[in-house]
Chains A and B, each alone.
Chain A
Amino acid sequence: MQIGLDGGEYSWVLNLVFFAFIMIMSLYGQKIQMWQWLKQIEAGLIELKRMAIESRQSAIDTFKEHGTEEEEVAKEIDRWLDYFTIMPVDLDPAGILKRLDHLLDQRRDRFQEFVTDLTPDASNSERMNLENTLEVTQVLSLIFRIVRHFYLLGKKTGSTIMVMQVQMIMPELLRLAKAYSDAMDAFSQGKPIGDGIGPLVVTKLAREYDATPETYVHEVTKEVGYYPIEVEGRTVYAMRATGPGGTVGKPGFAVKKIVEDNKGKIARIITVDAALKLEGEEMGRVSEGTGAAIGDPGPEKHAIEQAATDNQIGIEAIVVKEDEAAAVGVLDKRVLDSLPEVIDRIKIAIRKRTKPGDKIILVGIGNTIGIGL
């Protein structure tokens, strides 16, 4: 074989091809790259659209079981898919958490009103599950609409940076959308999800100390209550949101309220929650730390931290590691199997870091869907 050098009568062909290649690539390389990115986004968009449509349909199917015609349900859900909440202005940060909390309350009330209007025959806990179903549908619809926006805009303006950014975060968006899409089944049927491990731990522990659904004190704050239990001479307020309907309630404010009601008597606050695991970490791994383990937009966590700081109360967190798919999807066996260890660690915390006679708040944070009292 001989390439290029002295060349035969046909070597000009190779040279021509070579130069044509260089010219095309330097002149149109960017365009070709853009075209490739747009194609990749398009493939992702098709997938996102499919998930959005499927979740909308399964929301409609679930809603129509409770006494409203399918057409009416579809119309109302479409009206609700792009419901938005405007975050409070942060130019004047004073009192921003109060304002945010107010907005979140308002939003929740509108959601409840919407679901109640559409499901005259449903029970309370079914309605809570339907609210969750609606939220998942909204998330999937939102992801699809945003990606579509950037895709179309990028195509229209030919802006490389816009297209490039979407193409780069596409795998992450697809992963997130897939987690939510898989979760639809859990929410629409009321199955427990991985995020519910916090409340489950609390109830399991409380039952070891003779708590029953009847001893649960309801509505300390909206949809949150506690089991009053005695653990080795300490009084423990074992707090969680009410189940088995899907709700996270307002546990932060419940902690604040109990602290205020027992001025100076609370010795420790222990929060239990699910946490996102790092890739490579074991699913269901239990780990502990300092602080309030609660993933709300801000007001709840602030309430716990403020109450702890004002009264100099020790605060610690125990979390169970899960990935997104497990946290919003049906409870994973490995997460459920972490229960004994979490309960053990709580007992150790109580034994080592409090004295007999102390009062302790144990709070399980998470969505109580499918987890009974």
Chain B
Amino acid sequence: MGIISKILGVVLTASGALILTHAMDPNVGSLSFVLFVVGLLVMSVGFGLLTAGKQKKEVKASLPTVTEIRCNGCDFKEIRDYEKGDYILKPLEMKCPKCSGKMTIEGVYVVREEPDKDRF
């Protein structure tokens, strides 16, 4: 359905434009109104087919949640995927690889993309 209707849209738009240019030709005479209307109609149908279905955005996969772990003693920091049972300020069993101190979850968050800046 997708590609066929797109091709049909292109063909119709092009033929509509052709009819329109033909209608502009002074030699056509009185038939030019009809050609004009028909050309517009064909072209709008073509445009309709071309732009149809465009508003359907592809479904975005939900953003990954990450867990930020920090050592209580030094400045060691690790970011990993969220695991069930994680919560902010949860003390962890694991030892810091740098100073083997205790570690805590300091953040569970997602990084949402910044929307395009408006002019204001």
The residues of A with any CB-CB pair to B shorter than 8 Å are 1-4, 7-11, 13-14, 17, 182, 185, 189-192, 196, 200, 203, 243-244, 280, 283, 326, 329-336, 370-373
Q: List 24 A-B contacts (CB under 8 A).
A: A1-B24, A1-B26, A2-B33, A7-B30, A8-B29, A9-B30, A10-B30, A10-B31, A10-B34, A11-B33, A14-B34, A182-B62, A185-B62, A192-B109, A243-B87, A244-B87, A244-B88, A280-B120, A332-B109, A332-B110, A332-B111, A333-B110, A333-B111, A373-B89
Q: Contact check: which of A7, A331, A370 meets B110 at CB < 8 Å?
A: A331
Q: Give the docked Cα–Cα distance between A185 and B7 (Å).
A: 41
Contacts of B65 in A (CB 8 A): 191, 330
Is B14's beta carbon under 8 Å from chain A? Answer: no
Q: Say whether B90 contacts A372, CB under 8 Å.
A: yes
Size range of the interface on B? 20 to 34
Complex: how many Å from CA A13 to CA B89? 78
Asked whether B37 lies within 8 Å of A203 as measured between CB atoms, the reply is no
Asked if B88 contacts A200 (CB within 8 A), the reply is yes
Q: How many A-B residue pairs have CB under 8 A?
A: 96
Asked if B107 and A336 sit within 8 Å, CB to CB, the answer is: yes
- Cβ of B98 within 8 Å of any chain A Cβ, yes or no, is no
Contact A191 B108 (CB under 8 A): yes
Point out the residues of chain B lying under 8 angstroms from A3, CB to CB. 33, 36
Nearest opposing residue in chain A for B111, CB measure: A333
Chain B residue with Cβ nearest A196: B88
Instruction: Give every chain A residue within 8 A of B110 (Cβ-Cβ).
Output: 329-333
A331 close to B109 (CB less than 8 A) = yes
9 other A-B residue contacts (CB within 8 Å) besides A1-B23, A13-B34: A3-B33, A9-B30, A10-B30, A10-B31, A10-B33, A326-B112, A333-B112, A370-B86, A371-B89
